[in-house]
Amino acid sequence: MFKLRSWRRREVLGVACAFFLFGWRAYAESCEKLAGLKLPDTTITVAKIETRETARTLENGTPGAPLMKLPEFCRVAGTISPVKDSLIGFEVWMPVTGWNHRLMAVGNGGFSGAPWVRFMGGALRNGYATAGTDTGHKGEVGDASFALGHPEKVVDFGYRSVHQTTLKAKAIIEAFYGALATKAYWDGCSSGGKEGLMEAQRYPADYDGIIAGAPANNWERLSASGVWIGQATHATAASYLPHDKLVILHEAALNACGARDGVIGDPFGCHFDPAAVLCKGKETASCLSREQVDAARKIYAGPVNPRTHEKIFPGLEPGSELGWGSFGEPPEPPITASHFKYIVFQDPKWDYRSFNFDSDLARGEKVDGGTLTANDPDLRPFFERGGKLILYHGLSDSLIAPRNTIAYYNDVVKTTGALAADSMRLYLIAGMNHCFGGAGLTDFDMEIPLVGWVEDGKMPTAVPAAHFPDGPPLRPDRTGALCPYPEVAKYKGTGGTNDATSDLCAKP
C-alpha cells in the first residue's frame, strides 16, 4: 500500500476530525431540539447528549451490568399523562453513531417504579436505540402501595405505560435520526416477560420480536402461589425453613435426582420426597422436622383450591430450594402480599395469613379483570403480521414455577396451530434461577436468534450457552446448547462433553 505524503495525511486527518466534530455537533443540536418536540400527552424534561462519564450518574439501583463503556448517546426523558391521575415516566437513549436502525425496549421486575437503565445500557452497547419506563409510578420492586386509591396507576402498571412508552419512543427516534426504526424488539424477564406478552396480546403491532423470560403473566395465581409459600413456612414456628435447612433439602434433591455439576437435568421426571431428610428422632441441624417436611411438600405441590381441589398454580421444582427464602422469610412474602394488600383488598392492614385460596383468589381475579394478567393464548394477530416470540424459563426458578410458562406455551400452540410452530419458541434452562444465576448454563443471548428469525427468516434451533464460575478466571467452565422445547440437548458422540458444538437438539 502506498504512503500518503505528510501534507496529504494531515489534510485527510483534518477532514476526518472536522466531519466528526461538526457531525457530533449536529447530533448534539438535534438532540437538544427534542426538548421542544410535541407529542400527545407528553412532557419532555430532558434532551441532552450523555457520555460514558455522565452516564454513570444515571444509575438507579436496578439490576444488570453497570453503565460503563457506553457510546455517546442522546438521552430523552419525560412523562406521559394520557388520563387523569396517570403519570408515566420514560427514558429513550439513542446512540450518536453506530445506530443499527432498530429499537430494543427493556422490561422491569416486580412492581419496580424505575426504568431498568442497566439493561438499556446493554442494548445501547449493541447499537440499539432503547427505551424503558417507570411503569407509571415511583417505588421499589416489592411495593404496590402506589395502587392504594389510584386505579389508573394500576392500569399504567398493567399495560398502558409500556404501550405509551413504545409509541413515544418510536416518534422520538424518528425525530432524532430522521428515519423510523426498521424493527422494534422487546426484552424482559419476570414482570418484564409479562409486559412483553401483554404487548403481544393487546398491541400486536408494537413489536416485531419479543423475548419474554420467566413471564409473570398468570399474575393473580402467581401472587396466590407466593402467599401459599409464605403460609406454608409460617404456619407455625416449627414450619419455618431457615437457609441451613434449605441447603440440606437442596443437597438431598440433587442426590435423589441424579444432578451433575449441581444441575438437575430433568426435574419434571424426578419424584423427590423431602421425607428423605426427616429427622428420625429429635430435630437436629442435619435433618428436617415433620412440620418442615410438610411445608416443603406444600411448596413442591403448589397451591390448591380447598373447595374444588383445583390446582391453582404449579409448584416449584426440585433444585429450586435455595431460593425459597424469597417468599418464605418473615414477616410476609414480598410482591405477592403487597399485591393483595394494596390492589385487591385496598387495605394496608390486610394480613396474608388470612388469605382464602377459594374466595379471595376469586376476588383477586375479578379485580384484575385482565389488567395485570396476560394469559390470552390467541396470539394470531401478532403472529400473522410476522411477530416472533421467544420464551425462556429457568428450571430452578424459586419465584415463578416453570410449568406455568410451559402451560402458556401449550395453550398458544393449541389456539394458534401451525402459526405457533413458525412464530414461537420456548427454551427451558436446567439449573437456572429466576431470570439469571444458578449452577446451569445461565449465560446465553436470545437477542441474536430473535433478530435473525425476524429479519432473515432463520428459525432458532440450538442456542449456545455457558456457565461462568464465581470469580476469576473470567472464562466459562462449561458450555452447551439450549434447545427449543420439547427437544433436549444430547451429546452427538464426538467432541468434548462440556462443549456447545458437541450437542444436538433431539426429542427426549
Structure confidence at residue 504 as a pLDDT band (50, 70, 90): confident
Tell me: do 389 and 311 sit in the same domain: no
Indicate whether 484 belongs to any domain.
no
Tell me: do 199 and 149 sit in the same domain: no
Indicate whether 483 belongs to any domain.
no
Closest CA to 194 of 145, 229, 157: 157
Residues in Cβ contact with 40 at an 8 Å cutoff, skipping those fewer than 6 apart:
82
pLDDT value, residue 491: 74
Tell me: do 89 and 57 sit in the same domain: yes
* Residue 391 pLDDT exceeds 90: yes
Indicate whether 357 belongs to any domain.
yes
Tell me: do 68 and 172 sit in the same domain: yes
Indicate whether 418 belongs to any domain.
yes
Domain end residue (candidates: 368, 403, 425): 368
Strand partners, 506: 488
pLDDT value, residue 497: 59
Domain end residue (candidates: 368, 392, 407): 368
pLDDT value, residue 404: 98
Average pLDDT of the residues in 263-288: 96
**Which domain does 116 fall in, by range?**
28-181
Could you read off the pLDDT of 410-464 as tens digits, one per residue? Answer: 999 999 999 999 999 999 999 999 999 999 999 999 999 999 999 999 999 999 9
Could you read off the pLDDT of 374-384 as tens digits, one per residue? Answer: 999 999 999 99
Vertex 324 angle, CA 194 and 230, to 5°: 85
* Residue 18 pLDDT exceeds 80: no
Tell me: do 322 and 244 sit in the same domain: yes
Tell me: do 59 and 134 sit in the same domain: yes
Q: What CATH number should be reported for the domain holding residue 399?
A: 3.40.50.1820
Tell me: do 283 and 260 sit in the same domain: yes
- Distance in angstroms (rounded) separating the CA atoms of residues 31 and 96: 9
* Residue 46 pLDDT exceeds 50: yes
* Dihedral, CA of residue 219, residue 225, residue 230 and residue 235, to nearest 10: 140
Secondary structure of residue 384 in the 3-state scheme: helix
Tell me: do 125 and 77 sit in the same domain: yes
Tell me: do 382 and 293 sit in the same domain: no
* Surface-to-core class of residue 444, CB atoms within 10 Å of its CB (0-12 exposed, 13-18 middle, 19+ buried): buried
* Residue 11 pLDDT exceeds 60: no
Average pLDDT in the chain:
93
Closest CA to 354 of 220, 222, 230, 218: 230
The one catalytic residue among 398, 434, 467, 503: 434
CA 249 to each of CA 77, 279, 288: distance values in angstroms, whole numbers, following the listed order:
47, 12, 8
Tell me: do 141 and 207 sit in the same domain: no
pLDDT value, residue 474: 83
In the numeric block, the cell 441474536 is attached to: 448
Average pLDDT of the residues in 77-91: 98
Could you read off the pLDDT of 91-104 as tens digits, one per residue? Answer: 999 999 999 999 99
* Residue 503 pLDDT exceeds 90: no
Residue 434 annotated in active site = yes
Closest CA to 115 of 153, 78, 160: 78
pLDDT value, residue 236: 86
Average pLDDT of the residues in 65-77: 95
Average pLDDT of the residues in 175-187: 97
pLDDT value, residue 22: 45
Q: How many domains does the chain have?
A: 3
Indicate whether 118 belongs to any domain.
yes
Domain end residue (candidates: 368, 389, 418): 368
Supply the pTM of this predicted model: 0.93
* Residue 108 pLDDT exceeds 70: yes
Average pLDDT of the residues in 20-28: 59
pLDDT value, residue 507: 87
- Distance in angstroms (rounded) separating the CA atoms of residues 211 and 485: 15
Q: Phi-psi bin for 196: left (phi > 0), alpha (psi -120 to 50), beta? A: alpha
Could you read off the pLDDT of 128-168 as tens digits, one per residue? Answer: 999 999 999 999 999 999 999 999 999 999 999 999 999 99
Could you read off the pLDDT of 300-330 as tens digits, one per residue? Answer: 999 999 999 999 999 999 999 999 999 999 8
Tell me: do 389 and 406 sit in the same domain: yes
Residue 338 annotated in active site = no
Secondary structure of residue 466 in the 3-state scheme: strand
pLDDT value, residue 500: 62
Could you read off the pLDDT of 466-486 as tens digits, one per residue? Answer: 999 886 668 899 999 999 999
Residue 225 annotated in active site = no
In the numeric block, the cell 401449550 is attached to: 410
Of 3 and 74, more confident: 74
- Distance in angstroms (rounded) separating the CA atoms of residues 189 and 195: 9
Could you read off the pLDDT of 252-266 as tens digits, one per residue? Answer: 999 999 999 999 999
Structure confidence at residue 405 as a pLDDT band (50, 70, 90): very high
- Tell me the percentage of the chain whose pLDDT exceeds 70: 92
Indicate whether 16 belongs to any domain.
no
The one catalytic residue among 397, 398, 423, 503: 397
Tell me: do 264 and 361 sit in the same domain: yes
- Distance in angstroms (rounded) separating the CA atoms of residues 358 and 153: 27
Could you read off the pLDDT of 326-355 as tens digits, one per residue? Answer: 999 989 999 999 999 999 999 999 999 999
Closest CA to 74 of 43, 46, 100, 48: 48
* Residue 210 pLDDT exceeds 60: yes
Indicate whether 12 belongs to any domain.
no
* Residue 9, C-alpha cell as written in the block: 495525511
The one catalytic residue among 30, 112, 161, 190: 190
Query: What pairing do the DSSP bridges indicate for beta strands 73-80 and 102-106?
Result: unpaired
Structure confidence at residue 178 as a pLDDT band (50, 70, 90): very high
Helix, strand, coil proportions of the chain in percent (round to 5)? 40, 20, 40
* Residue 49 pLDDT exceeds 90: yes
Indicate whether 281 belongs to any domain.
yes
